[in-house]
Every structure is written in C-alpha cells, then in structure tokens.
Amino acid sequence: MFTKINVEKMINDKATWSSFSGALTKVEKNIKASPSTRGTRYFGPSKMNFLNLVKHSLAIIAVFKVNVIFRSALFYAIYLYLISSNITFITLIPLVLIIVFIVSVLTLSKREDLNALNNSTNNLASFDKIK
C-alpha cells in the first residue's frame, strides 16, 4: 500500500525527476512484483540508441548513488588488496572502470532537480489535450 508519507517522500525527492521508477523503488519498501508479458512492437524500430540506453540505466542507478559509492569503494579496496602482490596493467583495468562508473553515476545524478519536477506541468498548455 502506497501511504501518504511515501507520496510526500516521492513528491519531495529530487530523484523523482530523473528516474521515477528508481525513486519509487527507493521510497516504497513493500513493492510486489506482478508478471507481465511483453507485447510485440507495433510500429518501427526503437528510437533509443545504445548511448541513450546506457544513460537511462545510469540515471536509474544514480538514485542509489550512496549505496553505489559505498559498494564500489568496498570492492575497490578488496580488489586492490587481492592484487597488491601482482599488480599489472591488466589487473588495473577493473579499477579504472570502477572510477569511470562512479564518475558517470555522479555526473548523471546532477540531473536530479526538484524545481524541474515542480515546474514540469508548466510546459503543458492543457491536460485535456493529452487525453
């Protein structure tokens, strides 16, 4: 059940603007999954290219940036400890990729904007035309 408190949290969470589904997952703890079958595409190819798909995924991950940074730092430290006796260029590649991942997530988390969320309906001339 989506309570009034959780609705207020969603409204006041700036991550809602960047990723509604990620913010909903962060706020609501009792989400039940329901199975659904994916239908066939009716018209044309997808307009989402690979780069936009990656940005979309990272924006969802950015909602949980505190957990991402903590877990990445923990992995970084453990991995660095494990390879400390055999450091080579190849074994450093995962460390560089983690840094790129964290920077990407932090950069995309800057899209979170509470003012943009609050002003999002100002761009619509009329709700009746949407229906």
The length of the chain in residues reads 131
Please indicate, yes or no, if residue 123 is contained in any of the structural domains. Answer: no
Query: Does residue 89 form part of some domain?
Result: yes
Residue 37 belongs to a domain: no
**Coil vs helix vs strand at 2:** coil
Q: Note the pLDDT of residue 123.
A: 63
Residue 40 lies in a domain: no
Do the domain assignments include residue 125? Answer: no
How many percent of the chain have pLDDT more than 70?
A: 82
pLDDT of residue 10: 73
Mean pLDDT of the chain: 81
pLDDT tens, position by position, 69-97: 999 999 999 999 999 898 899 999 999 99
Residue-level pLDDT at 47: 82
SS3 call for 56: helix
Give the pLDDT band (50/70/90) at residue 118. low
pLDDT at 99 over 90: yes
Q: Considering the domain boundaries, does residue 41 fall inside one?
A: no
* Number of independent structural domains in the chain: 1
Give, in order, the Cα–Cα distances in Å from 116 to each of 17, 37, 63, 77, 113: 7, 33, 16, 37, 5
User: Which structural domain range is residue 50 located in?
Assistant: 4-31+46-116
Asked if residue 61 belongs to a domain, the reply is yes
The reported pLDDT for the residue numbered 27 is 79
Is the pLDDT reported for residue 4 higher than 70?
no
- The answer as to whether 83 is a domain residue is yes
